[in-house]
Structure 1
Amino acid sequence: MMAPSHAATGLLVGVLTTAAMAPAMSVGPPELLAGAALGAGAALLPDIDHPDSTVARAHGPLTRGLAHGARWVSAEIHRRTATPEDAVADGAHRFLWHTPVAAVATGVLVGLGAAASGVVLGAVLWFTLGLGLLGLAQNLPRGRRRKRLMSWPVVTLGAALGAAALVHGGVAHGPFAGAVVGVGMLTGALGDGLTRSGVPLAWPFAVKGRRWAMIGLPRRTRFATGTWPERLVCWGSLISAPLAVLALA
């Protein structure tokens, strides 16, 4: 599973995307930390279509229900839009939610909500922070402590405390949250494009007659999950993210 590396790359991308918003808003430590939380969780969101994913386990019954709903939506959209040239598939995992269209649409909705209400921003922070915490916790050594930290009640409570601290700390509410979530989701999808499976980055446009063409790096340069290239990306991002916060704060 790529959840730890998704969360790590999203963490870094969230900080950098938030910093890039500086010409349009005031960006300080609260915003950079919020961006890290939003990005880490959003990079895992494309896997909302899998019932055993980190996303599905993060907030217990809530995310399990969302995962089943997202899986059904993905399968239906695939069934209705697939061409005769597309490979036979159920359209559930690594389809709709791994497209740039899904990332942009989710980002726009989050941005509109966060701009309209600080309550919405707090809820989004809580949700994404929970995903990010569970993803990052998988980098810890295996054992009872890690197992306890990864239980959904602990994750949900920790995310609530973290989100409350960010809101109380004065994080600005505005469309920046949507930008970070959208870029974070795209980062997660592109990360899967580095592996041997590829993702449907061109949807809804057809590539050689296939609307769900799986696109990625040239096959010789792709890698399997759990191998050293993925670990290099993961730990490089984990080290770079806090350094970026310190440099930009």
Structure 2
Amino acid sequence: MMGRSHALSGWCAGLAVAPLVGLTSVAEVVPFAAATAGYALLPDLDHPGASASRLLGPITELISRAVRAFSGVLYNLTKGPRDEQSTGKHRHATHTVAAAVLLGFLAASLGDRGKWAVLAVAVTGLVLAADALGDWIILAVLAAAGWSVVGTALPGTGAADAIQAGLTQIGGWIGVAVALGMFVHCLGDSLTRSGCPWLWPLPIRGETWYELRLPRPLRFRTGSWVEHGVIVPILVIAGVLLLPGAIPVLRNLFDATQIWIAGQS
């Protein structure tokens, strides 16, 4: 899947999972979903042309090169007797549940190293999301963060205390956002013809890097009309409907429209 599709799927997954980790208000859900959208792009650090690899110029290009080298070595060390001949670089090491869980735990552990480290992880996810989806997502997160600070700043407390409370809250969910985004990326690639070996190192049919795919008639090519004309519109609609309070608002709008139409007849 293309970067925009991955980011949209991460956004939708973040909105859907947020209530399960105790996030219910817009001020909580939007930053979580934005981070999930951003980290849904992270696995493609193993591709030199991916947006994640080009995001910070030489810095992310160097990281991408290191990721590809590590993935290739890991593939050669762990491939099964029936695994195909491959460099093992793209859609391998970073496209696994193991990588998602590992990096999720690593992000969560940053809370012990200081709240600013947690903020750095969250901002990285936001920058990745904005690169794929546009600056609107930054504005949405800033608005949600501002609302959160206002709501947290009780009488007798200052803005600094409110910001510290907000950073503490981010530390509670940032690991989930990283792991969820990466896992959703793997699921998205499983919809394509190439598939994704996200169950590594579980051996399947003699392969430890077995590419999981949909049945052949349901697969589509990355960047095809199916992705642009079907998958993306579905994700956009879902991304709106999953926002907290969106469905009741739409229902009220529909009811008001029906009443207006009845009044005109």
State the TM-score, normalizing by the size of structure 1. Answer: 0.81
- List aligned pairs for 1:145-224, cutoff 5 A: 166=145, 169=149, 170=163, 171=166, 172-224=169-221
Are positions 1:50 and 2:29 aligned together? no
Partner of 1:119: 116
Q: Secondary structure at the match of 2:170?
A: coil
CA shift, 1:58, in A, is: 1.7
In the alignment, residue 235 of structure 1 is paired with which amino acid? P
In the alignment, residue 207 of structure 1 is paired with which amino acid? I
- List aligned pairs for 1:79-98, cutoff 5 A: 79-98=76-95
Partner of 2:29: 32
Contact 1:39 1:180 in 2 (8 A): yes
CA shift, 1:14, in A, is: 1.4
Give the Cα–Cα distance (whole angstroms) in 1 for the partners of residues 21 and 189 of structure 2: 26
Give the Cα–Cα distance (whole angstroms) in 2 for the partners of residues 160 and 244 of structure 1: 19
In the alignment, residue 19 of structure 1 is paired with which amino acid? P
In the alignment, residue 224 of structure 1 is paired with which amino acid? R
Contact 1:11 1:238 in 2 (8 A): no
Q: Could you list the runs of 5+ residues in structure 2 that have no partner in the other structure? A: 150-162, 247-265
CA deviations over 1:76-133 (Å, ceiling 9, x no partner):
1111111232100000000111111111111111112146532122111211111111
CA shift, 1:236, in A, is: 2.1
In the alignment, residue 131 of structure 1 is paired with which amino acid? L
In 2 relative to 1, CA 59–238 (structure 1 residues): closer, same or farther, beyond 3 Å? farther
Give the Cα–Cα distance (whole angstroms) in 2 for the partners of residues 59 and 114 of structure 1: 24
Larger Rg: 2
Higher relative contact order (CA 8 A, sep 6+): 1
In the alignment, residue 196 of structure 1 is paired with which amino acid? R
Contact 1:106 1:182 in 2 (8 A): yes
In the alignment, residue 233 of structure 1 is paired with which amino acid? I
In 2 relative to 1, CA 67–159 (structure 1 residues): closer, same or farther, beyond 3 Å? farther
Contact 2:28 2:144 in 1 (8 A): no
Q: Could you list the runs of 5+ residues in structure 1 that have no partner in the other structure? A: 138-148, 150-157
Give the Cα–Cα distance (whole angstroms) in 2 for the partners of residues 102 and 208 of structure 1: 22
1:247 to 227, 245, 248: 245
Partner of 1:237: 235
Give the superposed CA RMSD: 2.8
State the TM-score, normalizing by the size of structure 2. Answer: 0.77
CA deviations over 1:202-236 (Å, ceiling 9, x no partner):
21011111111111111221111223432322222
Partner of 1:20: 20
Give the Cα–Cα distance (whole angstroms) in 1 for the partners of residues 24 and 213 of structure 2: 34
Q: Secondary structure at the match of 1:210?
A: coil
In the alignment, residue 7 of structure 2 is paired with which amino acid? A
Contact 1:115 1:175 in 2 (8 A): no
Give the Cα–Cα distance (whole angstroms) in 2 for the partners of residues 242 and 113 of structure 1: 31
Q: Secondary structure at the match of 1:96?
A: coil
Give the Cα–Cα distance (whole angstroms) in 2 for the partners of residues 34 and 74 of structure 1: 31
Give the Cα–Cα distance (whole angstroms) in 1 for the partners of residues 117 and 97 of structure 2: 23
Identity of aligned residues (%): 33
CA shift, 1:161, in A, is: 11
CA shift, 1:241, in A, is: 2.1
Give the Cα–Cα distance (whole angstroms) in 2 for the partners of residues 18 and 95 of structure 1: 28
In the alignment, residue 206 of structure 2 is paired with which amino acid? G
